[in-house]
Chains A and B, each alone.
Chain A
Amino acid sequence: MDDRRLTNLIRLAMEAEAFEADVNRPAGLRLVESTPEERAALVRVTPSVRPSVFSLRRIGTGFSLAACAALGWFLYPQTVTTAPNAGPKQPVVASGQSNPGQGYQRASKPWLPSRRSADNVLVSGAADRVPGDAADAGDEVVCVVVAIFKGDQGDCRCVHIQPHAWADGRSLDERDPTDLFDVSLKNTCGPVGDSLLLVAVEGPRKMLPRSASEAEALADCVQEAPMVCGGSPGCVASLARGCLPPNVRVLAQSVQLASR
Chain B
Amino acid sequence: MPADHIPDKDPAPVSPRPLGPEVCRAAAAGDHAAFTQLHDRFSAGLVRLFLKRTNGRDDVAEDLAQRAWTLVWDAIRQGRYDPDRASLSTFVYAVGNNVWLQHLRKAGRQGPQAPLSEMDLGSDPRLDEDAQRSELLQCVREALSEGENGAGLTPEERSIARWAASGLSDRDVARQLGLAPSTANVKKRAAFEKIRRYLAVRGHRETGEEQGER
Binding site for B on A (CB under 8 A): 1-17, 19-20, 22-28, 40-45, 86-87, 90-91, 93-94, 98-99, 102-103, 128, 213, 216, 224, 228-230, 232, 234-235, 237-239, 241-243
Complexed CA–CA distance, A87 and B118 (Å): 41
Contact assessment for A12 and B119 in the assembled complex, using a CB-CB cutoff below 8 Å:
yes
Which residues does chain A contribute within 8 Å of B118, judged by CB atoms? Answer: 8, 11
B105: Cβ under 8 A from any A Cβ: no
Binding site for A on B (CB under 8 A): 1, 3-10, 13-18, 41-45, 47-49, 51-52, 55-59, 61-62, 87, 89-90, 92-94, 96-97, 118-122, 136-137, 140-141, 144, 161-162, 164-166, 192, 195-196, 199, 205-206, 210-214
Contact assessment for B51 and A3 in the assembled complex, using a CB-CB cutoff below 8 Å:
no
Which residues does chain A contribute within 8 Å of B211, judged by CB atoms? Answer: 1-2
Complexed CA–CA distance, A108 and B124 (Å): 66
Contact assessment for B61 and A238 in the assembled complex, using a CB-CB cutoff below 8 Å:
yes
Complexed CA–CA distance, A238 and B41 (Å): 15
Contact assessment for A91 and B6 in the assembled complex, using a CB-CB cutoff below 8 Å:
no
Chain A residue with Cβ nearest B45: A23
Contact assessment for A40 and B1 in the assembled complex, using a CB-CB cutoff below 8 Å:
yes
**Sampled A-B contacts (18; CB under 8 Å):** A5-B206, A5-B210, A12-B121, A12-B137, A13-B144, A16-B141, A19-B45, A19-B89, A20-B18, A23-B41, A42-B7, A99-B4, A102-B6, A128-B3, A235-B51, A235-B57, A238-B51, A238-B61
Which residues does chain B contribute within 8 Å of A11, judged by CB atoms? Answer: 118, 165-166
Which 4 A-B residue pairs are closest in the complex by CB-CB distance? A242-B44, A26-B13, A23-B45, A10-B165
Chain B residue with Cβ nearest A91: B10
Complexed CA–CA distance, A110 and B149 (Å): 56
Chain B residue with Cβ nearest A25: B15
Task: Tell me how far the C-beta of A172 lies from the nearest C-beta in chain B, rounded to whole angstroms.
Answer: 15
Contact assessment for B93 and A20 in the assembled complex, using a CB-CB cutoff below 8 Å:
yes
Contact assessment for B122 and A24 in the assembled complex, using a CB-CB cutoff below 8 Å:
no
Q: Knowing that A2-B213, A13-B137, A27-B13 touch, tell me 7 more A-B residue pairs with CB under 8 angstroms.
A: A5-B206, A11-B166, A15-B97, A17-B141, A24-B41, A102-B6, A234-B59
Contact assessment for B52 and A15 in the assembled complex, using a CB-CB cutoff below 8 Å:
no
Given contacts A9-B137, A10-B144, A40-B1, contact A3 B55 (CB under 8 A): no
